[in-house]
A and B are shown apart, each in its own frame.
Chain A
Amino acid sequence: MRRRAFLASGAAITTGLAGCSANPVDSGNEGTDDDTLPVATYGSFVDAPSDSPGQWIKEEFEARHDVELEWHTPDQEINHYIERHNEDAGIEPGLYLGLGPHDLVRIDENTENELFAELDGSELEHAEDIDEQYYFDPNDRAIPIYSSYCAIVYDGRTVEKPETFEDLLSPEYEGRVALANPQQGTTGLLFLLWTIDHFGEDGYLEYWEELRNNDIRILDSWEDVYTQFEEEEVPVIVSYSNDRIYAERSGNDMEKHRVSLLHDEGYADVAGIARFAEGTNYELATTFVDFVLSPEVQAVIAERNVTSPVNVETELPEIYREYAKDPDEPVLFGYDVLSENLSTWVDDWGRAIAGGQ
């Protein structure tokens, strides 16, 4: 009897699969009317297990402007929209929040006509308060909204503070440093770019080979790296300079969470917001960008995202004065340099480090 039932249900479901949807072709912007603003971003901006700014932003923006803010978080992040754009499948959100310079480079290499449109700074009230150094898009599509710095986090109870890149090559750190794969994880990529800035195009691979000889652990993702740090498997990791703010908040041992800015530098991880060219509601999109740039919202994003604001007028909470570490010298490759070299650098790195033994 059971056998018959499953055969029957299977057949039923197979035919029931006609649960498809059909829309007229030019329906990329369905649902974007005057009272809804769909915004795309990466998952942890709205849904991190600790705290994420997305929820507060949505509630606050809706209360102030009497519109509905919809978060979209496709797993493939910006690649999802590049695909949609290239397949002419229509793009629903009006904005993308959380683009880095390397994302822009990838977008421009892989899209024909414009995925993003220009954002006119003169229409933004807060644009002039943004620290110049954070602007990374020469074509004015992406406006910076927050930054953080790639830095070394080390366990002060068990190892000495590494002060320089060369320190990481010493026997003390052999097999005790971990970072995320630069091909997949943001922190790993930032660190790779940082070494290229420091050692130059001709010297960085040599440095990495020495790191490899010192048994550096290149793991899949920043999460894997942090897991090994938490479990005291490795005492030194490549992470973010604001690590101690987080540690203080979650009641971790502050001796375990120490930050080192090698050479007093830190590679800047700047995230921007950009407007999809297909978006229809220009005014609402501009309103939202301005909202995100306002000092009050900048402070909330910084606090809940454990990042730094880009608006110089922002007043940060007390904890920042005590625990935030900003480098004297932020390092950041501009868009032009990256668009010339990024994929070559990453590929060369991969070929030098992956063995295939």
Chain B
Amino acid sequence: MSDDSPVPRSDGVAGSETGRQGVRRVRDSLERRALALLAVGTTLVLLLLFYYPVATVLVEALVVAGRPTLGVFTELLRDPFYFGGLVRVFAGESPLSVARDVLSGEIRLGVVGFTAYQAVLSTLLSLALGLPAAYLLARFEFRGRRTLRSLTILPFVLPSIMVAIGFVATFGRNGTLNGALGLVGLGPVELLFTLEGVLIAHAFYNAPLIARVTTAAWESVDASAVETARSLGASPFRAFVDVIAPQLYPAVLMGSALVFVFTFGSFPIVLALGGFELATIEVFVYQLVRELNYTEAAALAIVELAVSLGVLYGYLRYEAEHTVRSRGIRPLSRRSLVPSEFSVRELLPRLGLGIYALVTLFVFVSPIVSMVYTSVTGPSGLTLDHYRFLVDRQATGAAYQVRPWPAIRNSLLYAVGALSLALPMGVVVSVLTTRRYRGRKLVDTVSMAPLAVSGIIVGIGLLRGPVFGIEVAGWRLSVGGALAIVAAHAVSCYPFVVRTVAPGLESIDGRLVDSARALGASRMRALIDIELPLVWPGVIAGAAFAVAVSIGEFSSTVILATGTAQYTMPVAIERFIGRRLGPATAMGVVLLVVTTISFVIIDRLGGENTGL
């Protein structure tokens, strides 16, 4: 199946005019079909492995005992446990007076309100920790900059159980932070089991995302526009505010919208570091699913979905109105980290970056280092026992046990498979959503749903649909195992490709494509030869995210894996955790090493001129 393989050009060979036209016609029709085929394929995969399975679960909130009803929702919206003060707003009270009561602590936020509240705070903290990194990576030149840039995404793939271990070791009572504070006569601080602790963990996961997308935008700012502003007498600060910043807002907002959605649906890390009193909606979705109370679980999941998609829709509307057209291809020149002179202007930003580096040392580096350290310590000091466990398990593990090498191999295979599916899917959806038609932002929002649906709901849907199979004429058709996992991973990571590619496509001057089409290129040809090269940095960023999401994916994988032969690294880590932390952390280090190598490879393959 290679409809889109290029037909060799008949260069230099004198063919008749009509012959050439014939060839071109065939080629064009093939290419036209290629785009249509890809669109159909994408739609099919999404329907089969996402929308239909998820719908089978969500419908349980709307159809009870065979009858459609909204009773479950009215019940839910009246429940102060979930909606706190909002219940009174729904009942018709003035929002202002309710807001006053909430602020004065008279009434509670409710679980949904609290979840949104912590998600907003988590997003702000992720911005605070992510933007300086983008500034450093986009505006300064130093040894290892590209490697550092490709590794910013690393925290994104760590299983929460690993992060919890690293955070306890760093921010716990006897952690590194209190040790360091003790040295300078401060502390101790209690961060675990507080909202602050949860926010820092969320920032650990999500600041890298902000950093990555902002860096990309910053590196695509056209230097000539800034130079023009400067030559017209604008100060560097004015040039930044008037020329650079408007080109960064969409990326920053996109990152923020995604972070809000992720932290709004956050589950294990909240309880592992914050405790049950800080439970989010997702905690209750999980509990209800576990109790097999699908009616209420689905209703809550729909509330979750509505809030998340609402935020994404708001962002997409903004993006549509704030696209900066015609991007340049000459990025701003980066400055050396070593100051060229000792002036306030030179020293101040670098001093700020120095303080920021200290913060990142604790928030990002220390938890990861603690994890590595845990993997080489035992009851009697330093040891390689935990790695020996991995080797032994590999050598003697039975078929029904999880072994390290298959886990590594599967993770990589699934990531490659998911990538080769998610990239075309993402590009196709980007093309479809950047065309002009009414309601395209709605389509775009709905295509983002995989980011916003509760993981456990997707899992149950997959189980009931593809895994158990559908009865057709006395046969049960089922999709399970590796293929299903790859497809599920692709579905969960393709929205990242859309979000990194679509804004670029949107900003391409439409006349470029029009000229190509007028000269006889098919839509597909124009996409491959003109548009994609112009947005290549976005494609590479999307690829990196896709691989990260695939390697880190857990909830669908465990459900779709029909046996231990299909387990991945995060699943192995979860299986290896027990009364000792060693084996799991050793596996965690393996995951770190494998993903580090993967990201560096992606970055190197991406080519030097890329924005990510």
Name A residues whose Cβ lies closer than 8 Å to a Cβ of B.
2-4, 6-17, 19-25, 27, 43-44, 46-50, 54-55, 58, 70-71, 73, 75-76, 79-80, 82-84, 87, 89-90, 106, 109-110, 175, 181, 183-184, 212, 215, 217-221, 223-224, 226-228, 230-233, 246, 250-253, 343, 346, 350-351, 353-357
Contact = CB atoms under 8 A, between A and B. Distances in A.
A181 B271 contact: yes
A215 B565 CA distance: 43
A11 B284 CA distance: 39
B167 to A, nearest CB: 10
B578 A223 contact: yes
Given A87-B464, A227-B164, 20 more contacts: A10-B423, A11-B41, A13-B421, A13-B486, A20-B478, A22-B478, A23-B475, A24-B476, A46-B398, A47-B402, A49-B575, A49-B580, A58-B398, A87-B468, A110-B292, A221-B268, A228-B172, A233-B173, A354-B279, A356-B113
Contacts of B156: none
Interface in B581-598: 581, 583-584
B532 interface: yes
Contacts of B577: 49, 223
Contacts of B483: 16-17, 19-20
B114 A356 contact: yes
A311 B297 CA distance: 41
B276 A10 contact: no
B400 A228 contact: no
Max chain B C-beta neighbours (<10 A), residue from A44, A215, A228: A228
Contacts of A21: 469, 477-480
A231 B169 contact: yes
Contacts of B193: 175, 215, 217
Interface string B383-412: 000000100000000101110000000000
Contacts of B113: 356
B5 A4 contact: yes
Interface stretch (B15-23, B103-111, B243-251, B354-362): B103-111
Contacts of B1: 11-12, 15
Interface in B274-321: 275-279, 283-284, 286-287, 290-293
The 7 tightest CB contacts between A and B, nearest first, are A10-B424, A220-B271, A218-B276, A89-B468, A14-B41, A75-B558, A49-B583
B6 A4 contact: yes
B165 A184 contact: no
30 contacts: A4-B4, A7-B427, A14-B44, A15-B41, A22-B475, A22-B476, A23-B469, A24-B475, A25-B471, A25-B474, A25-B475, A27-B476, A49-B575, A49-B580, A49-B583, A49-B584, A50-B580, A79-B290, A82-B292, A87-B464, A218-B275, A219-B271, A219-B272, A223-B577, A223-B578, A230-B579, A233-B172, A233-B174, A250-B579, A252-B379
B124 interface: no
A106 B292 contact: yes
B81 interface: yes
A80 B420 CA distance: 31
Contact of A224 (B272, B401, B532): B272
Interface in B523-569: 528, 532-533, 558-559, 561, 564
B420 A6 contact: yes
B420 A13 contact: yes
A87 B468 CA distance: 8
B474 A24 contact: yes
Contacts of B290: 79, 183-184
Contacts of B112: 356
B45 interface: yes
B599 interface: no
B580 A19 contact: no
A356 B82 contact: yes
A315 to B, nearest CB: 25
Contacts of B474: 24-25
A110 B288 CA distance: 13
A220 B268 contact: yes
B578 A89 contact: no
A355 B476 contact: no
Given A218-B277, A356-B108, A10 B398 contact: no
Given A14-B421, A184-B286, A227-B168, A20 B558 contact: no
B151 interface: no
Given A75-B558, A84-B468, A215-B193, A11 B271 contact: no
Contacts of A22: 475-478
A146 to B, nearest CB: 17
Given A10-B423, A11-B41, A14-B421, A217 B109 contact: no
B276 A71 contact: no
B77 interface: no
B367 interface: no
A357 B81 CA distance: 10
Contacts of A218: 271, 275-277
Given A9-B420, A357-B109, A223 B161 contact: yes
Interface string B146-188: 0000000000000001001100110011100000000000000
Nearest to B465: A87
Contacts of B559: 75-76
B10 interface: no
A10 B426 CA distance: 11
A246 B164 contact: no
B369 to A, nearest CB: 14
B424 A3 contact: no
Interface in B465-491: 468-469, 471, 474-480, 483, 486-487
B423 A49 contact: no
Among B6, B173, B400, B584, the most chain A Cβ lie within 10 Å of the Cβ of B400
A17 B532 contact: no
Nearest to A256: B379
Nearest to B389: A49
A12 B2 contact: yes
B172 A251 contact: no
A184 B270 CA distance: 14
A43 B287 CA distance: 20
Given A106-B292, A231-B172, A251-B380, A10 B425 contact: yes
A50 B579 contact: yes
A90 B3 CA distance: 40
B417 interface: yes
Nearest to B471: A25
Given A25-B475, A58-B398, A212 B277 contact: yes
Most chain B CB within 10 A, of A14, A70, A228, is at A14
Contacts of B279: 350, 354-355
Nearest to A110: B292
Nearest to B586: A49
Nearest to A235: B173
Contacts of B284: 350, 354
A29 B199 CA distance: 49
B400 A47 contact: yes
B276 A106 contact: no
A356 B45 contact: no
A294 to B, nearest CB: 22
B576 interface: yes
Given A13-B420, A25-B471, A218-B277, A357 B108 contact: yes
Contacts of A221: 268, 271-272
